[in-house]
Structure 1
Amino acid sequence: MVLTEIDAKLLVGGQPTPDEIAGFGAKGIALLINNRPDGEEPAQPGSAAEAAAAGRGGLAYLHLPVTGATITRADIDGFREALERAPGPVVAHCRSGTRSLTLWVLGEVLAGRMRREDVLAYGAARGFDLTGAVGWLNAHAPESGGGAPA
């Protein structure tokens, strides 16, 4: 599994195996956030298997399933709160890492810590297409951006 460091506390990536999840604790990861709905793909482990693997590895687990079309402010707030409460590094994953990064970026823009016009370049620099994040902002938070809190 390839993980992309987003900041000192957050790494995002695609679907980890249960063995990879169980190994995160030994690498200092404190929390695993699963942003995939169960049943999204036939071969994915699912939230119960991920929670069990996280338990074996000694890390906390949060299932916060989202799709690009259904992200809400509550999802964004839940993601941000989980990051803030985690006592150490967090791995967030979905199928590719894009939804997990989208949740983080949306929180940053809504809090005024990132400018809306920087979102696409920020994602591209890390290998992610954040067009969906910009679309979400345009549809749900047209007043935010430019560095000012919404």
Structure 2
Amino acid sequence: MSDFRQINEAFIASPQIGLEDIAEAKARGVTLVINNRPDDEEPGQIAGDAIAAAAHAAGMDYRAIPVTHAGFGQGQVDAMADALASTDGPILAYCRSGTRSTLLWALAQAKQGVNPSVIASQAANGGYDVSPIRQLIDMLSAGR
């Protein structure tokens, strides 16, 4: 059963999704699924290839931008910004809890010049707290 959390009109974060969640994502108009979880992070986790195949079969694009315990790097922020800009429809990003997906989204939004307060408010609406990376958000936003 899905636990999709609407961050804004264009972005949904979620804990680990299952193959059955692809149909709900499609029904919500999702056009791109982003996997922010490395394969084999925990036993029994559905492999990214299986999610990718289900997403493609449902007519959605899929991208893997894994984030490990090592944290975020510039390459991941750039890849997320590119993914966010690649489609006009809603995007569903997932990881173990949805937190990494939301934090990476926040960094990509900041890189694009979105106001840090707006980013924090939208993340909070979905139940996520960006305060652990707020300084990075502020720095990326100011660098625009």
State the TM-score, normalized to the length of structure 1.
Answer: 0.80
Out of 103-112 and 54-63, give the one that drifted further.
103-112
Residue in 1 aligned with 2:133? 133
Equivalent residue letter for 1:102: L
CA contact (8 A) 1:22 1:56 kept: no
Residue in 2 aligned with 1:144? 139
Radius of gyration: which is bigger? Answer: 1
Q: How does 1:1-150 map to 2 (within 5 A)?
A: 1-115=2-116, 123-134=123-134, 137=136, 144=139, 148-150=142-144
Equivalent residue letter for 1:148: A
- 1:4 positional shift: 1.4
- 1:130 positional shift: 2.7
CA contact (8 A) 2:7 2:125 kept: no
* Unaligned residue ranges in structure 2 (runs of 5+): none
Out of 124-133 and 24-33, give the one that drifted further.
124-133
State the TM-score, normalized to the length of structure 2.
Answer: 0.83
- 1:17 positional shift: 0.7
CA pair 120-21 structure 1, distance change in 2 beyond 3 A: same
Q: 2:68 and 2:9 mapped to 1: Cα distance?
A: 26
CA contact (8 A) 1:14 1:95 kept: yes
Q: Deviations over 1:20-63 (max 9, x none)?
A: 12442243211100000000111110111111111221111111
CA contact (8 A) 2:109 2:119 kept: no
CA pair 64-114 structure 1, distance change in 2 beyond 3 A: same
CA contact (8 A) 1:68 1:132 kept: no
Q: 1:128 and 1:27 mapped to 2: Cα distance?
A: 21
* Unaligned residue ranges in structure 1 (runs of 5+): none
Q: Which runs of 4+ in 1 moved over 6 A?
A: none
Q: Deviations over 1:83-104 (max 9, x none)?
A: 1111311100001110011011
Q: Deviations over 1:97-126 (max 9, x none)?
A: 1001101111223333223x7766654443
Q: 1:121 and 1:88 mapped to 2: Cα distance?
A: 21
Identity of aligned residues (%): 35
How many residue pairs were aligned? 143
CA contact (8 A) 1:105 1:119 kept: yes
- 1:131 positional shift: 4.0
